[in-house]
Structure 1
Amino acid sequence: MTISVNANDLVSVSLGGAIAHPGFAGLPAEPYRLAADGKPFLLPTWGGIVYNVSVGDSAFGWAADCIHPGVSIKGGDDLKNRGLNVYACLGNTAVVMTGRAQGAKGVVTGKSGRFSEQLIIHFPKSVRADMAVGDQILIRSLGTGMAVDGHPEVALKGLGPNLFEALPKKVVDGRLEIGVVAKVPAHLIGAGLGLTSEGGSLHMQSTDRAALKEAGLDQLRLGDLVAFENTDSRYNHGYLRGAISIGVVGQTDGPRAGYGPGVTIIMTAPKGELGCFIAPGTNLKSLLSLED
């Protein structure tokens, strides 16, 4: 059975941003953050060009705090950055417009949530080696307004049509089901609850490693598809029995409580119209044929 979307109705527009410099908040005066056990730490975090962490790598184990794999970009001011974060869709093409890597192409793979609001883009490592903070990146946005034919209750969020086409999927008893690597039980959902689902990310909790392993989440990789159980992300993220949200692991975990791997939600439905099935290896690296 063919599962189609309103591809001919979609409008493709340009979005722009520059490679963001890693930064620290102005206060407190010291740069340290607190781990879940109360110990201060100082580790690399979001922003910049990450040369050695990519989609397909482990989401755990790095000496880092919610690192973005590949390249992170931001818009020129808050309004522009908001448009960039909302309208960019996973799977969209990114083009380097300035600098030594001018003309190189990448793929949007994630969105960062509150406090950073950056767009995460995969470029091959050879391209990253030629990039610099401040390089201008153009996104060919396509996907906002997309809907699944025959499934009006399924809301799509920041999902490009090329990625939707590549997803493992089927219809069972009228319900759209998407292949995922694992399911995240509602009690393991962390930072992001209550915030908007238009852009940003929703984190899973990773402080309790035994619970993580029990749920089959301890081997997740960046780019894996996962399903959040009993989670409604139509407008903002919250608990709703029977709802489901499906997303892509976009950021690594970190030492802080509530900030395990960050996930960019790409679809959601409130009352059983959307489901999932376990499909090992469902990852953006293979779905979109991303180069190392």
Structure 2
Amino acid sequence: MPSELATTRAGTPRINTDELVAAAVTGQIAHPVGRASAYRIGYDGVPRVLHGTGGIALNKRIGDACVGLASDHTEPGVALHHNGREIVGPRDGPNNALLTYACVGNAVHVISGPCEGRIGLVTGKHGGVNHVLVDFPSEVLRRLRIGDRMQVHSVGPGMRLTDHPDIDVFNASPALIRRWGLVERDGKLHVPVTHLVPARVMGSGLGKNTAWRGDYDIQLADRQTRERYRLGSLRFGDMVAIMHADARRGPLFRSGFVTIGVVVHGDSTVSGHGPGVTPLMSGSLNSIRPMHAPQANLAEIFDVRRAVPPRARPTLIEATSRRPRRGDPAAIAHEKPDRDRHEPLRR
């Protein structure tokens, strides 16, 4: 797994390396938490029983498709949470620190259990459940256990792009900045992304006053928008540009701005939810220019594995929708109109 000392790509913007502090924060592999009801009610009104957040996703990693899965908010790889309680400050202070300080691209060391000594990669943060997401090789994922402890080598908070003071950076490690393929040209920072996302489809996560603790979601319910922007081909770990969005003080709509982030969790059937994006940088379109790069995925950026080719997939709701049978009450809207009903009675 690449370290924070990874080779810098030519043309990478300068950062304030000498000012940064590296610190250790810990967490445990979080057990999934069931709700009072086993069902999730989709925006189509259908109840479904699906895998949700937490635990270890044994067969989903960065580079895999995140749309069309028979699951809800799937977190690829490992979900970390600090379960300890503090006697000073907020009771959830330790997990707040883990969620704040861990940055995408940080190294994660397993410090207990059968995989002790193995190293993973922070791939994002999931707000609400407040998990830090970590990728490991598949053979490690199969041997990890719920409750295994991990230590994140956190470096990234306080990072600045020294030649671009009008661009705010958050949740990103120096290793990510060095390996991403960022290009400085004509006074602007050109950023490789796989997709452009219109701010109007962003949902759950709006209203937060910080971009440092989580993500916000891309709604995929509108098929026309999804197809126009190729959002059905999103993958875990894709770098995306949310157009006309400003996350500097928390995510919001703002014309002329752009927020660059990474896709961290899978699609959802629940209204207002969808693939989650952890913001990484934000600024005006005069400072940041997204550039299309199909391989702008964490799996490729960190040479972890080959990402699957981007391919449009239907959402779970579309894939499981059933055309009502003739005679069912719900079939009325799908039947051809009865011409006699709309013609005047004949004598």
Scaled by the length of structure 2, the TM-score of the pair is 0.80
Supply the AA of the counterpart residue of 2:184: V
Distance in 1 between the 2:30 and 2:248 partners? 29
Please say if residues 209 and 218 of structure 1, whose CA atoms lie closer than 8 Å, have aligned partners that are also in contact: no
Given candidates 151, 156, 159, the residue that maps to 2:169 is 156
Q: CA deviation at 1:30?
A: 2.0
Q: Does 1:246 align with 2:263?
A: no
Q: CA deviation at 1:172?
A: 3.3
Q: CA deviation at 1:33?
A: 1.7
Q: Paired residue for 1:134? A: 147
Could you say what secondary structure the match of 2:38 adopts? coil
Could you say what secondary structure the match of 2:18 adopts? helix
Could you say what secondary structure the match of 2:61 adopts? coil
Q: CA deviation at 1:43?
A: 0.5
Distance in 2 between the 1:2 and 1:169 partners? 6
User: Which structure has the larger Rg over C-alpha atoms?
Assistant: 2
Distance in 2 between the 1:228 and 1:203 partners? 11
Q: Paired residue for 1:269? A: 283
Q: CA RMSD in A?
A: 1.3
The 3 A distance-change label for structure 1 pair 170 and 103 is same
Distance in 1 between the 2:123 and 2:97 partners? 17
Supply the AA of the counterpart residue of 1:107: L
Distance in 2 between the 1:62 and 1:161 partners? 32
Q: Paired residue for 1:216? A: 230
Given candidates 54, 62, 67, the residue that maps to 2:69 is 62
Supply the AA of the counterpart residue of 2:250: N
Please say if residues 12 and 177 of structure 2, whose CA atoms lie closer than 8 Å, have aligned partners that are also in contact: no
Q: Paired residue for 1:179? A: 192
Unpaired runs of at least 5, structure 1 = none
Unpaired runs of at least 5, structure 2 = 1-10, 86-91, 307-347
Q: Paired residue for 1:121? A: 134
Given candidates 16, 38, 41, the residue that maps to 2:26 is 16
The 3 A distance-change label for structure 1 pair 107 and 83 is same
Scaled by the length of structure 1, the TM-score of the pair is 0.95
Supply the AA of the counterpart residue of 1:83: A
Please say if residues 193 and 290 of structure 2, whose CA atoms lie closer than 8 Å, have aligned partners that are also in contact: yes
269-278 or 198-207, which moves further after superposition? 269-278
Please say if residues 240 and 270 of structure 1, whose CA atoms lie closer than 8 Å, have aligned partners that are also in contact: no
Distance in 2 between the 1:219 and 1:30 partners? 31
Q: Does 1:71 align with 2:78?
A: yes
Q: CA deviation at 1:270?
A: 4.1
Distance in 2 between the 1:231 and 1:194 partners? 13
Distance in 2 between the 1:276 and 1:125 partners? 32
Could you say what secondary structure the match of 1:163 adopts? helix
Please say if residues 48 and 72 of structure 1, whose CA atoms lie closer than 8 Å, have aligned partners that are also in contact: yes
Q: CA deviation at 1:124?
A: 0.7
Q: Paired residue for 1:34? A: 41
Question: How far does the alpha carbon of each residue in 1:165-190 deviate from its partner, in whole angstroms, 9 at most, with x for none?
Answer: 11122223312120101110111111
Structure with more strand by fraction: 1
Please say if residues 107 and 119 of structure 2, whose CA atoms lie closer than 8 Å, have aligned partners that are also in contact: yes
Distance in 1 between the 2:64 and 2:270 partners? 21
Could you say what secondary structure the match of 1:230 adopts? strand
Distance in 1 between the 2:98 and 2:12 partners? 31
Distance in 2 between the 1:2 and 1:120 partners? 26
Given candidates 39, 50, 59, the residue that maps to 2:57 is 50
Could you say what secondary structure the match of 1:285 adopts? helix
Question: How far does the alpha carbon of each residue in 1:34-82 deviate from its partner, in whole angstroms, 9 at most, with x for none?
Answer: 1011111110011001100111000111100010000001012411111
Distance in 2 between the 1:2 and 1:124 partners? 28
Please say if residues 12 and 182 of structure 2, whose CA atoms lie closer than 8 Å, have aligned partners that are also in contact: no
Q: Paired residue for 2:157? A: 144
- Identity, in percent, stands at 35
Distance in 2 between the 1:209 and 1:139 partners? 39
Could you say what secondary structure the match of 2:74 adopts? coil
Q: Paired residue for 2:179? A: 166
